[in-house]
A = this chain, B = another copy of it.
């Protein structure tokens, strides 16, 4: 089981990506953790260290996929 982290900030673009793309991952292979960076600001350094620049973003096996564009990470600080 691989770890997948979906970072978002509650924006409409984020919600759509969560409902569709994050929910489309193979449940047999991925355990998806959803992190709201606007509410869990203590996770911001971790997201930045992973290479996340904007939300929504999905980190799969350490690789960052920025999905469409909702907000810059700096706007959440």
Chain A residues with a Cβ under 8 A of chain B: 4, 16-17, 20-21, 24-30, 58, 60-61, 63-69
A60 to chain B, nearest CB (A): 5
Query: Contact between B65 and A68 (Cβ–Cβ < 8 Å)?
Result: yes
Q: Out of B21, B27, B30, name the residue touching A60 (CB < 8 Å).
A: B21
Known contacts A21-B58, A24-B29; is-contact A68 B68 (Cβ 8 Å): no
Of all chain B residues, which has the CB nearest A21?
Answer: B65
Of all chain B residues, which has the CB nearest A26?
Answer: B26
CA distance A24 to B67 in the complex (A): 15
Known contacts A24-B4, A24-B60; is-contact A65 B29 (Cβ 8 Å): no
